[in-house]
Structure 1
Amino acid sequence: MANVTVAALRERAPGERRVALVPEAVTLLHRAGIDVLVETGAGSGAWFADADYTDAGATVVPPDELYLRADVVLCVGPPDQETARALRAGQTLIGLLEPLRQPALVQDLYRRGVHTVSLDLLPRTLSRAQSMDALTSQANVAGYKAALLAADSYDRFFPMLTTAAGTMRPAQVLVLGAGVAGLQAIATARRLGAVVSAYDVRPESRGEVESLGARFLDVRSPQGDAGQGGYARELTPEEQQAQRAALEAHIARSDVVITTAQVPGRRPPLLVSAAVLERMQSGAVVVDLGASDLGGNVEGSEPDKTQVLDNGVTVIGAGRLPSAMATAASTAYARNLVALLRHLVRDGELVLDPADEITGALMGGGQS
């Protein structure tokens, strides 16, 4: 019986440096009886050479041969049109396919007989699927990098320093959103010595925030509750307005604000208005981790763009931070894929069982 063959694509999105598999993952997949192909140059953005994959047991091939031989094609982000057209009936595409934002892509692949398994559909409440949770692994990288980016852009110290020239007060950092990325931003800012406060619409996040040594702000929407699948629910326009008004005073006096609030497939909530930005002190830094083509948490922010406003406030639209740490992010993502493939490949065959709670959830985009 032939082994299942999986193949890692070279990412083609502008600025994307991550890769779906790293050499370490190739070794683990071989032990599980899975053959691995890697597209030529796929790992170069994350500093993995083709020779590294060959040494680990993979076969490095050009794209035409990859599409011809692969049973399963692995990617990080949604494929471009050329890549999607190259996939054939019977193949399975696995990645962060964003089916809520790009339903036409997965529906077209489904109509052509290509199975799609989208890691961003994994319910975070399934404990046995934690090792497959790519959104969490990438959010950890993003939160860490957001805090470092804020510290690098802030023209003062994060920690309190006592020197011969006097005492420098610590930076006052406010993190909006205490999900995975927010908690990692809190932890990293605390390690750097800042005084950190945080807010989330989910009251139960208080314990996690305080366990990291940060102060939880008691600013709640009238019906502040968690949503489904481990995410914060989307607030109504009235709730968003009340929340913003209550947060304005905290935002205005912060040295650094890091926003991390996202709603899967929807426009991120607006947490920092232009009017609040005008009230912030000169030299303050705002990092919008939610910045995307759908908008961001900060009014006027744009993904992958830094702006210095007239009052001296720096606004950073952090659109693709995991890609800025491509080696670490790719390694974590590849481990998620290895865990998933071990779940899907049984007795040498790829089993896509919609009745399985993990597989069924991941195949939900465009295949129901």
Structure 2
Amino acid sequence: MRIAILKERAAGESRVAATPETVKKFIGLGATVAVESSAGEGASISDEAYAEAGAETGELAKVVKDADIVLGIQAPDVVDLAGAKPGAWVAALFDPFNAKDRVEAYAKAGFEALSMEFMPRITRAQSMDVLSSQSNLAGYKAVIASADTYGRAFPMMMTAAGTVQAARVFVMGVGVAGLQAIATAKRLGAQVSATDVRSATKEQIQSLGAKPIFVESVEGIEGEGSGGYATEMSEEYQKAQAELVSEHIAKQDIVITTALIPGRAAPRLISDAQIASMKPGSVIFDLAVAAGGNVEGSRPDEVVERHGVKIIGFANTAGHLAADASALFSRNHFNFLSAFWDKEAGKPVLDEEIGDAVRLTQDGKVVNERLLS
């Protein structure tokens, strides 16, 4: 069983799909691991570190040759897989809804595409969930980047010269990223509030010491939407939420938006009029900017100033913490494959529940129900 780790070629991608730690673990299972030269450079991992862990290192053609499994962060182009075994598995982020041509190309080439973002959100798959591990880091980074851009202190400071009031931070969307953003802002001493369309998140917000801001006049979602995400709201709820947010947002120093809907453009949460109501010098971090943005006028990797408010957001937020992001992503990969490792066969054998959820292509066809429906 040969596992290949390629250098990421997507623009701005600094993460790597395996670390020396997981290389050792794969070798412990009986696999051979090959890592493309300089694959770990963006995450501060040298070729020597991989070699010391027991991996082969070399150029792309050498690494991919006869590979049974290819691990990536962003799915590699099919041309980069030349030499891999027919039917080889490729486990990575495929962005399946927005990159259907890539999925079709994998099917045509005979590779088995395993979409890590389609990992089901069930108890036994938690340790395999790359979206959660990366969102956790993204929520943290959003607060740190916002604090740096804000230019004022986060905590209350009482000095002989007077008192500096604590920053007011409002988190919109209380998934994994939102919860981490709340926790990080609280640790930095901010006065934190948060909102979500799922009423079940109120207790989570309060457990972190933040104030929940919820629409009470119109019913939202009692529990989770599909896969743990929220779903789209009724027009009545959206209107009520916009009114509530408009009233609250005008008092905030920093707003962090995190709302995403799988397979669709990010929902618009903040309008230009709402931005205009904020104090000059305030900051908005749009964690959904790469998916179209929650904030009117936001642009990936740019600081946009509107009405004296700075709007920021990264196309790849977790990638700004490449070393930690790579360590977590690579453990997700290992947990995924090792959970199904068949010692007698010397390879992983997926079960139906998780296998059918993540598998996009097989035997020359697109087979995932979410893409065929």
Partner of 1:214: 210
What is the CA deviation profile of residues 137-165 of structure 1, one whole-angstrom value per residue up to 9, with x for unaligned ones? 00001000001011111121110000111
Contact 2:103-2:360 within 8 A present in 1 as well: no
Give me the whole-angstrom Cα distance separating, in 2, the residues matched to 1:245 and 1:123. Answer: 35
Aligned mates of 2:213, 2:157 — CA distance in 1:
26
**Counterpart residue number, 2:90:** 93
Residue 196 of structure 1 aligns to a residue whose secondary structure is strand
TM-score by length of 2: 0.92
Structure 2 residue 149 is the aligned partner of structure 1 residue 153: yes
CA–CA distance in 2 between the matches of 1:248 and 1:25?
A: 47
For residues 66-107 of structure 1, the C-alpha deviation after alignment (integer angstroms, 9 at most, x for no partner) is 221311011101324643667563111101111122122122
Residue of 137, 141, 145 corresponding to 1:141:
137
Shift of 1:214: 0.5
Decide which moves more: 24-33 or 343-352. Answer: 343-352
Asked if 1:346 corresponds to 2:342, the answer is: yes
Task: State the one-letter code of the partner of 1:324.
Answer: H
Please give the alpha-carbon distance, in whole angstroms, between the structure 2 residues aligned to 1:87 and 1:299.
Answer: 44
CA distance in 2, matches of 1:242, 1:77: 38
Q: Residue 282 of structure 1 aligns with which residue?
A: 280
Q: Could you tell me which of 242, 254, 263 is aligned with 2:261?
A: 263
For residues 302 and 12 of structure 2, the distance between their equivalents in structure 1, rounded to whole angstroms, comes to 13
Deviations 1:313-360 (A, max 9, x none): 10002221111000000000010011011023312443454x521111
Give the whole-Å Cα distance in 1 for the aligned partners of 2:9 and 2:119: 24
Give 1:222 shift: 3.7
Aligned pairs, how many?
Answer: 361
2:371 is matched with none
Give the letter aligned to residue 2 of structure 2.
Answer: T
Aligned twin of 1:132: 128
State how 1:52-63 maps to structure 2 within 5 Å: 52-63=49-60
- Structure-1 separation of matches of 2:186 and 2:37: 41
* Aligned partner letter, 2:29: A
Unaligned runs of 5+ in 2: 369-373
In the TM superposition, residue 110 of structure 1 has moved relative to its aligned partner by 1.6
SS at match of 2:311: strand
Whole-angstrom CA distance in 1 between matches of 2:114 and 2:299:
30
TM-score (ref. length: structure 1): 0.94
- Go from structure 1 to structure 2 and tell me whether the alpha carbon gap of 1:334 and 1:133 turns closer, same or farther (over 3 Å shift): same
Match status 1:204 vs 2:196: no
Equivalent pairs: percent with the same residue? Answer: 42
Q: Deviations over 1:94-148 (max 9, x none)?
A: 0111112212212221232100111100121x10111101100000010000010
CA distance in 2 between counterparts of 1:344 and 1:337 reads 12
Matches of 1:237 and 1:42 in 2, distance apart?
A: 47
**For residues 81 and 116 of structure 1, what CA distance do their matches in structure 2 show?**
11
> Matched residue of 1:130: which SS?
helix
Q: Among residues 7, 11, 14, which one is paired with 2:8 in the alignment?
A: 11
CA–CA distance in structure 1, aligned partners of residues 216 and 245 of structure 2:
10
Report if aligned partners of 1:221, 1:243 keep a CA contact under 8 Å in 2.
no
Give the whole-Å Cα distance in 1 for the aligned partners of 2:321 and 2:72. 17
Once residues 98 and 17 of structure 2 are traced to their aligned partners in structure 1, the CA distance between those partners, rounded to angstroms, is 21
**Larger deviation, residues 299-308 vs 242-251:** 242-251
Gaps of 5+ in 1: none
Stretch of structure 1 that moved more, 312-321 or 38-47: 312-321
RMSD value over aligned CA atoms? Answer: 1.7
Q: Which of residues 330, 336, 358 in structure 2 aligns to 1:334?
A: 330
